[in-house]
Structures are given as C-alpha cells and as structure tokens.
Amino acid sequence: MFDMMPNVNPKQLQKLMRQMGMSMDQLEGVEEVVIRTADKEYRFADAEVNIMEVKGDKTYQVTGTAEVVDRMSEDDITLVAEKTGKSPEEARAALKEADGDIAQAIIDLSG
C-alpha cells in the first residue's frame, strides 16, 4: 500500500493518518471489479482495491488494467436475431460490427 511512496517511512505515515482520523486497508481476495456505464463496461481482472476511510466516509481506489467492453442491450440483440433469423451470437457480432446501429446490423445479416 505504501510502496508507491519510497521515501516515506510507512510507520510514520500510518501514525500520522491515524492522528488525522484516516485509515487505509487493502481489500483481500478481489477476483474482479466491473464498472458499468450506460454504454461501456470496464472490467479489471487483475484489480487491487484499497479502501481509505476518513471520518466515516469510505473511498475505494481500484488499480489494474481495464478491459473496456461496449455494452449492448439484450433487447437490441433479440430484435436483430428475430428480424434476421440468426442466432443471438451472430446478432451480437453484427451489432458490434455496426457500432450498435440496429438497422445496419439487420442489413448486414440479411444480405
């Protein structure tokens, strides 16, 4: 946790943080962290999570390499699959290729 600050004595830093009502711990056993937004997912398979608590408020810090994945609506996938007679996997691939454009995905799978 404190190895990011090589010139600081970890014991002194922990003592100072305690005096200020702060604590920082590493969350053990993290297997994966996923952050979802409206159009993307950020997946951290190698995540390290630190929790800093200051006066009862907790802040979570995620460190790792994110795999960014575009999110698709299951309704969009089902619609494209139904309209084209293709499998959901083929519909998903067509939507990805068409950057989420349903009409383009249907045209691509129908042609």
* CATH number of the domain residue 99 falls in: 1.10.8
The pLDDT value recorded for residue 4 is 59
Instruction: State the total domains in the chain.
Output: 2
Instruction: Write out pLDDT tens, residues 14-51.
Output: 888 888 889 889 999 999 999 999 888 999 999 999 99
Rounded mean pLDDT of the chain? 90
Q: Can you give the pLDDT at residue 3?
A: 56
Write the pLDDT tens digit of every residue in 63-97.
999 999 888 889 999 999 999 999 999 999 999 89
Q: Residue 64's domain is classified under what CATH number?
A: 2.20.70.30
Residue with token string 């305690």: 18
Q: How far is CA 39 from the centre of its chain?
A: 12
Q: Are residues 47 and 64 in the same domain?
A: yes
pTM over 0.75: no
pLDDT at 105: 96
Q: Residue 73 CA to chain centroid, in angstroms? A: 17
Can you give the residue range of the structural domain that contains 39?
Answer: 25-69
- Torsion sign across C-alpha atoms 42, 45, 46, 50: positive
According to DSSP, the β-strands at 40-44 and 33-36 are: antiparallel
Q: Which residue reads 């994966």 in tokens?
A: 32
Mean pLDDT of 48-59: 94
Q: What was the pLDDT predicted at 65?
A: 96
Alpha carbons 38 and 22: distance in angstroms, whole number: 33
**55 burial level (CB within 10 Å; 0-12, 13-18, 19+):** exposed
53 phi and psi, to 5 degrees?
-115, 125
Looking at the domain assignment, is residue 16 inside a domain? no
Same domain? For 61 and 86 the reply is: no
